[in-house]
Every structure is written in C-alpha cells, then in structure tokens.
Amino acid sequence: MNHLHFIDGQWAEGQGKDSFSAFDPAFGQPFAELRSASAAQVDQAVAAARAALPGWKATPVAERAALLRGFAEQLAARSDALLALQMRNNGKPRHEAQVDLDDAIATFSYYAGLIERQADGRDVPLAVEGFRATVHHAPVGVVGLIVPWNFPLVTSAWKLAPALAAGCTVVLKPSDITPLAELAYGEIAEQLGLPAGVLNIVNGQAATGRALSEHPGLDKLSFTGSNATGRLVMQASAQWCRPVTLELGGKSAIIVFDDCGLEQAVEWIIAGLCWNAGQMCSATSRLLVHEPIADALLARLAQALDAMVLGEAIGPISCRAQFDKVRGYLALAREEGLRCLAGGNVEQGAGWFVRPALYADVPSTSRLWNEEIFGPVLCAQRFIDEAQAIALANDSRFGLVGTVASADLARAERVAAALEVGHVWINSAQAVFVETSWGGTKGSGIGRELGPWGLAAYQGVKHVTRCVG
C-alpha cells in the first residue's frame, strides 16, 4: 500500500527513505506498510499549491461553499469505511469514532455557511469626514497543516475546512501513526473536481514534517501536537517571519464542589479523563475536589474506574511509544510513593491497554501532577474553599481548558471567569461545538481554531480607504 500521497491532483508513491507501518493498537499488530514522501515531493506539493492559489482565491464564495458541503456529504457517504478505519488504526470504540466523524462533517458544513454570511466590502465608520473605508478579507496564501494521531479526520477538518473556505491552498501532513484516514480528503477532492493543487497530502515521518515546516514556500503553518515539536515548528517559521497557529499540550483541572451530586460528578470526571483513552490535550487529568466530599467522591470514582470494560468503555493507547510513555508514568508513581486508588497497571497481552488510574492527594511537586501524560491517569488534590481551588487550577504552565461542577451557578461562573484557560465547561462533559473557539493560553498554544476565529486564522484583513471629498 504505497499510493499515500496526493500531489497536484494525482496519487503518487512515496519516494522518501523512510518506511513505516500503520498498527492496530488493540492487537499491537501492523496492517499496512507505507513509504514517506521525499523532500522533493514536499517541494512539488508546495509548488502545486502555489500555482493553484490565484485561481482558488478568485473562485466565487458560492462555489467554494458548495465544494465544502460536498466534503461534508462525501464524509457521510463514506461513514462505514471511515468508522472501521478509525476503530482499527486508533483503537477507538465505535461510539467515539462516530462522534469524530460527525464533528468533521459538521465542520465542513459550518464553514460553508460562514463564508456565505461573511460581509466583504462593508463600510467602516470613520471619525473624519471626506473619506470612506471598506474592509475586505483575503486568504493568507499557501498553508501547511500538520495534524496529530489522536483525532485524525477531526483536527484536519478543523484546519482544512476554514483554510479552503478562506481561499487558501493547502499541503496537509497527517501523523505517521494514523496516516490513512486523511486520504479520504484526497479521494473526495478528486471526486468533487477540486482544482488540482488546492489540496495536497504528503504522508511520512519526522523528516517529511520537517521538510514541510521549514519550507520557504509557505505563507502560514498550523500545527497540533506536542509542545516539544511545536517549539521546532515555531522556530522553523520564525526564520521566514510567517504566522503560526499552535494547538499544544494541556494539564487541565476539573473542580468539583461539595454541592455537586457524586454520581454526576463521577460521570463528568470519567468523561474528561477516559475519552479517547485519555489521549487528549484537553483531558482534565487534575481533579480538585472540595474537602467535605473528597473521601466519598474518591471512593465512588475508584469503583467506577475499576468497573470500566477495556475495549468497550475505553480503547487502547494508539501507539506503542505512547503506551510505553504512560507505563513509565505509572512506574514513576510507584517511585514517588503516590497513593493509588484504582488502576496503576497495564494489561498483559498483545494490545496496548491501560487501566484508568487514580492517585489521591498527589503533591504539587509530583511530575504526574505537572506533566502531560496523554493517557488515562488522574491525579487528585483536595481544596478548602473557592480561592484555593482557583489558585491550584491556575498553578500550571498550561492553560487549555477547565471544568467546574457545582449546583451554585453563580459560584461556577465566578470560577470559570477566574480560570486562565481558553475554554471552560460548567456542569458538563467536554462538548465541543464548531461554533465555539478552541485554543489555550500559556504553554497550550498560539491562536484559536473553530468558530469565526478559525476562519480568521486563514484570512488577512485589507482596508481600502479613499477620499470622497
């Protein structure tokens, strides 16, 4: 299986030096062998995007919107195959794979409507008479999109849909761990008659990503992934003084007050920890629980975590390297002498399954409390009052999301306003809607995706001012 690169409207075999495999994490077995795109093929993809840019940005909004709706319709038509692939290559339970697909479909539909509603050429009020100013939106140009392995189809839709809507042309680099799902976008582009070069897809490992992120032919780069790689992406873009969007790590808090029902709290805690086997930048992996209910809540939570059925309620870790990383943190917890109430081990067998772990009264000096683990590992602390809860939640180098659970809505709103993050849920699981923004503060990244902010990330603002006196 080697036709994994979609360049200038044509499928191509990889010409890079690296070969790699796609794995089924439930069994720890490879099911597809692939070869990376070469640096020369990345050059070809960028050149194709550059050549296609004038025609695509001049394409009427109505035509671009129709093509975006075509992507949504074709994703839905390929539902069975895409769900099966997500389950096989990511290890996602079916209900999680379905949510991902629905999210991608909704994203393309949303941006089709948004560009139709965006008013170009509107007047800007001026304080000085005798002049008229109008505002216009222009695509930033050729953009590189580098997406991660935890949510293929989704993170690529969050970038690809607004980029195409804005009139940008694209070179997309999927993760080498999940290289297959994004190929559906190339197949759909071919079927819909998207002009050649508007969408290019290059698969590969680190060398391919480096060739794209360092390429002088890009006008913007959008990256979702680890902080370590994000720093390299930012450094590469700095030499060209080009804008970047970085959606990076998190170590988010869920705050549970004593007026929250235990059963409901347990449901929200597990959702924030175990969705996608904890492989989420938004995982609320720091639990802050009000002292009066701490013992009861932790006991009930431990029971619920131990009762989860691996492979049904929670899937495996998606790759061996991440599985080994999570296992290393479990070993570190033992070295640090943390009090384990649930899990704390991995399953013996071929698949990469980790039982959800709960550690109580974890000190703020612990690496498990401070570092992003990217697996179902939850660390808990107690708090006395609202002020302490806010201080503990904000004491992090990350600032992506947070959750507040309380029957006192005024208090919940106060706490939400005080959290130094980009998105807060109140009395809810992590429901993400395409109309709302996504992105964080501090070390969690630069810029926003989704909503009108996601479209603005791929547009430049141009004002035209003329004398009318």
Catalytic amino acids?
A: 247, 281
Contact 161, 170 (CB under 8 A): no
Q: H or E element: which one contains 284?
A: none
Q: How many contiguous H segments (helices) and E segments (strands) does the chain have?
A: 15, 22
State the amino acid at position 220 in one-letter form.
K
Strand, coil or helix: what is 215? coil
Copy the structure tokens of residue 332. Answer: 């570190």
**230-242 b/e (C-beta count within 10 Å ≥ 16 → b):** bebbbebbeeeeb
Distance between CA atoms of residues 156 and 449, nearest Å: 11
Copy the structure tokens of residue 60. Answer: 């009427």
Distance between CA atoms of residues 116 and 250, nearest Å: 34
Distance between CA atoms of residues 144 and 42, nearest Å: 10
Nearest to 18 by CA among 194, 264, 165, 203: 203
Residues 6+ apart with CB under 8 A from 345: 330, 355, 357
| Longest alpha-carbon distance in the chain | 80
The label of the residue with tokens 């570190």 reads 332
Q: H or E element: which one contains 153?
A: none
Beta bridge partners of residue 124, listed in sequence order:
133
Residues 6+ apart with CB under 8 A from 233: 146, 213, 221, 223, 244, 246
